[in-house]
Amino acid sequence: YQGHFSWEKYLKETGAIAAPSSCFRQSLTPPLNEFKAGMKLEAQDPRNTTSTCIATVVGLTGSRLRLRLDGSDNKNDFWRLVDSSEIQPIGNCEKNGGMLQPPLGFRLNASSWPMFLLKTLNGAEMAPSRIFHKQEPPAPEQNSFQVGMKLEAVDRKNPHFICPATVGALRGVEVLVTFDGWRGAFDYYCRYDSRDIFPVGWCTLTGDNLQPPGTKALRLQLGWAKRAGWLEDAMAGPGRPVTGPGRTRGRLPANWTQRIALQQAQ
């Protein structure tokens, strides 16, 4: 796909369908990003979620901010949607009777935190409260994803990447996110209302950079077919139904042979 990946072509080739936007906890029109690099705000420490810390915007990508906790190192940057409830204007914590905390792995001695806080906020550009979004979009009432549906998802091991993905399995309120063209190493389960998953076309709308799928396409297609209980039945061939525990529900998608043939031809 060298550089430009087209969902339209890809969905045709894979015979897959995109998960409808009503499945996601995302706004239909992506939230406006009016933040600027250098602005400071309050954020929950991702490694210690009971702490509210000072963070600096060190980058912007689509509707997301790349954040770094003041007093931390540059190895633990994290990304948040501009409408995340985990970011707030400076002053919010105190207003609610809380106290700003040093980040996990604070570079200095804990006793120097009050002075550090003073210095880091002195003369800082604070993100104005009007550019924060009042609330997160509401969660859909239930998990309405289906196995095989396509989506865009944050690669949690490389959270600056948003990548084409497929629903690999469902488990109650959870969804298994599998990355197209990559082996299982990046897969994860998340709640259906996770803020890390987006409808097809999200990155185009926000101007974020969607990674192209990896090259292990065949494995991936077989991967989810197997998890859905389809593969054993397919291999048994017609007239030799595989029975036994867990395999009785197996049913191949109508176009599975075309899907696999197409993947092999690439």
Between 191 and 216, CB nearer to ligand MLZ = 216
Between 124 and 169, CB nearer to ligand MLZ = 169
- C-alpha 213 chain-centroid distance: 15
Structure tokens at 42: 């309050």
Closest CA to 46 of 69, 62, 74: 69
Among 22, 129, 146, 158, binds ligand MLZ (CB under 6 A): 158
The answer to whether the CB of 114 falls within 8 A of the CB of 156 is no
Give me the least distance between CB of 161 and ligand MLZ, in Å please.
5
Say how far apart CA 118 and CA 122 lie, in whole Å: 6
Considering only 6-14, 130-138, 155-163, 245-253, which stretch makes contact with ligand MLZ by CB under 6 A?
Answer: 155-163
Task: Show the site string, 182-221: x = touches ligand MLZ by CB under 6 A, - = not.
Answer: x---x-----------------------------------
Q: Can you list the alpha helix ranges (DSSP code H) found in the chain?
A: 7-14, 92-95, 113-121, 202-206, 217-227, 231-236, 256-265
Number of residues forming the site for ligand MLZ (CB under 6 A): 7
Give me the least distance between CB of 163 and ligand MLZ, in Å please.
5
- C-alpha 42 chain-centroid distance: 21
Task: Tell me which residues touch ligand MLZ (CB under 6 A).
Answer: 155, 158, 161, 163, 179, 182, 186
